[in-house]
Amino acid sequence: MEIMKKESGTIVSPKGFKVGGLHSGVKRKKKDLGILYSEVPAQAAAVYTLNKVKAEPIKLTQKSLSKDGIIQAVIINSGNANACTGKQGMYDAIKMQEETAKKLNIEKDHVAVASTGIIGMEMPMDKIIPHISKLEITKTKEASLDFGEAILTTDTFIKSVSFETEIDGKKVIMSGAAKGSGMIEPKMGTMLSFITTDANIEADILDKALKDIVNQTYNCITVDGDTSTNDMVLVMANGEAENNLLTENHPEWEKFTELLKRTSEELSKMIARDGEGASKLIEVTVKGANMVTDARKVAKSVVGSSLVKTAVFGTDANWGRVIVAIGYSGVEIDPAQIDLTIGGIQLLEKSEPVTYSEELAKKYLEEEEVINIDINLNQGSHSGKAWGCDLTYDYVRINASYRS
């Protein structure tokens, strides 16, 4: 069985996972408190923001996960990031962890805590704590939607994906739910991603796989170049599929890593597509690089360029902006050997302008929701991708009034 997308799958499609979400009052109307639970302790791995200013929940989760590599539940709130809140912020994160552990009758250090929202504001614990006990945890599609909504901030849609495959003759499912819209410059951005799987794998092996996949997916998206204090990708694997223990020597190891890559890539693209005020997803593919890291770096430079992003919004096939972003990417290139196409329309060949129909290019940029920019450096055999979005008037409007 190859890897198949489960069109009706949710974060609880893997065996043994349940979720819940509700409105606690942190936000005015929308759901703002979510919980993810595995019926058995799960092997876990996480990657966190590289911003030196980390939110208190991130610090707490890092500390808890480092003890034995096990997470059985995650408690998440939106509307308040619990970042730059000092000793009180850590106390509040610990209180959320303790209340969740008490509710589920599990070890405190087996609860991860995540928060997202406004930075620098004290947590409204009088609203959060009483509602943790009120969270209904089930395996229904409705509960998955409640959870998906509860983790959002300025997002315009719930981000969820699910895949299944067969390993050792056992059906293995992997699903993910994420939030992310602005302040997205992974390393990582205002992005939370939770991945569940019933695969049987140990935490240290999962950790290695996740770090590699993050570099190919989440670290290849950008919305606005800002790196948040709260980003986290967390994977929980509870072993309920009962496949043989996965290691790098397992005959179907590559199938598992591809499962993780496809789940992460789909969530990454959803996050990029939902950039604050965005109207289009931009996918940049770079070929002919000397190294994979070079290809990704060039792609990220182009997709992160404010001038490229505004050109896409303005439906202007301004290839000059793309070539400039390639040039300042920091990668050693031959500036006389670059091929460039947008939507299959060739604009440069060996860095020489090609006669093309501007009318056709404009039509492509106007009509398509996914804008493909393809670059060939003609130097090596490696390739890479990056994803982003256009930069619109609404981005300024949304961020100018974020606290109001």
The domain segmentation of the chain, as residue ranges, is 4-268, 281-400
How far, in Å, CA of 50 to CA of 189, rounded? 9
Q: Which of 14-18, 391-395, 399-403 has the lowest mean pLDDT?
A: 399-403
**Which region, left, alpha or beta, applies to residue 218 given φ > 0 means left and ψ of -120 to 50 means alpha?**
alpha
Catalytic, out of 10, 190, 257, 341: 190
pLDDT at 160 over 50: yes
Question: Residue 269 — φ and ψ, nearest 5°?
Answer: -65, -35
Which CATH topology does 281-400 take?
Answer: Ubiquitin-like (UB roll) (3.10.20)
What would the pLDDT profile of 251-301 be if each residue is shown by its tens digit?
A: 999 999 999 999 999 998 888 777 655 678 899 999 999 999 999 999 989
Amino acid identity for residue 144 in this structure: S
* pLDDT at residue 399, as a whole number: 57
What would the pLDDT profile of 302-338 be if each residue is shown by its tens digit?
A: 998 889 989 998 998 999 999 999 999 999 999 999 9
* pLDDT at residue 335, as a whole number: 93
Q: Is the pTM of this model over 0.75?
A: yes
pLDDT at 403 over 70: no
Q: Which of 89-103, 122-136, 216-230, 367-381 has the lowest mean pLDDT?
A: 216-230
How far, in Å, CA of 239 to CA of 324, rounded? 48
Looking at the domain covering 4-268, what would its CATH class be? alpha beta
pLDDT at 190 over 80: no
Asked whether the beta carbons of 327 and 333 are under 8 A apart, the reply is: yes
Residue 85: closest CA among 60, 107, 112, 109? 60
190 given a catalytic annotation: yes
* pLDDT at residue 224, as a whole number: 45
Same CATH fold assignment for domains 4-268 and 281-400: no
CA 305, 186, 156, 275: dihedral to nearest 10 degrees?
0
pLDDT at 215 over 90: no
The mean per-residue pLDDT over the stretch 75-89 comes to: 93
Residue of 336 and 389 predicted with greater confidence = 336
Q: Please spell the DSSP secondary structure of 298-313, one letter per residue.
A: HHHHHHH-HHHHHHHH
